[in-house]
Amino acid sequence: MFMKPKVLRITTVFLLTLVVIYPALTAIIVVWQEHLNFLARQHLLYALKDGQKYMNNGDNSPIYLLLWLIIFAPIGLCLAITLHNSYVAYRAAIRQRKVRILERMWQQKTYSEEIIL
C-alpha cells in the first residue's frame, strides 16, 4: 500500500537531487546550443558556403523539446507521486468505511429473538 519509510526517503532524496540538478542541466544545454552557434559563425568566416550550410541546418526543435522535458519531468513525477498517494489514502478510507459498515451489519440482529427455537 504505502511506501516503506526507507524507500520513501530514498525516493525523496532522489527527487530533490533531480530538482536541484535540472536547472544546471538546462543551463548546460543552452550554453551548448550557443557554442554550436558560435562554431557555425566561426566556420562562416573560413568558408562562406560551409557556414551557410551550418546556419541553414540549425534545427533547434530537439533542443527545445529536451528543455521542456527537463523542466516538466520532475514536476510531472512529483505530481504523479502525490496523486498516487492521495488515491491510496482515499481507497484505504473507503475500505475502512466498508469494513465498519460490515461490522455493524454483523453485530446487528436481523431477526427477532422470538423466532429462535
Structural domains of the chain, count: 1
Cell output for 49: 558556403
- Residue 31: inside a domain: yes
Convert 13-50 into a string of H (helix), E (strand) and C (coil): HHHHHHHHHHHHHHHHHHHHHHHHHHHHHHHHHHCHHH
- Residue 93: inside a domain: yes
Q: Is the pLDDT of residue 49 over 80?
A: no
Per-residue pLDDT at 101: 92
Range of the domain at 102: 5-107
DSSP state, residue 108:
S
Q: Is the pLDDT of residue 34 over 70?
A: yes
- Residue 115: inside a domain: no
Non-local (6+) Cβ contacts of 2 within 8 A are 85, 88
Long-range CB contacts (< 8 A, 24+ apart) of 56-64?
A: 60/33, 63/29, 63/33
CA distance 2 to 4: 6
- Residue 112: inside a domain: no
φ, ψ of residue 31 in degrees (nearest 5): -65, -40
DSSP state, residue 56:
H
Average pLDDT for 66-84: 81
- Residue 116: inside a domain: no
- Residue 60: inside a domain: yes
Among the ranges given (24-28, 84-88, 89-93), the one the predictor scored with the smallest mean pLDDT: 24-28
Per-residue pLDDT at 87: 92
Confidence of residue 20 (pLDDT cuts 50, 70, 90): confident
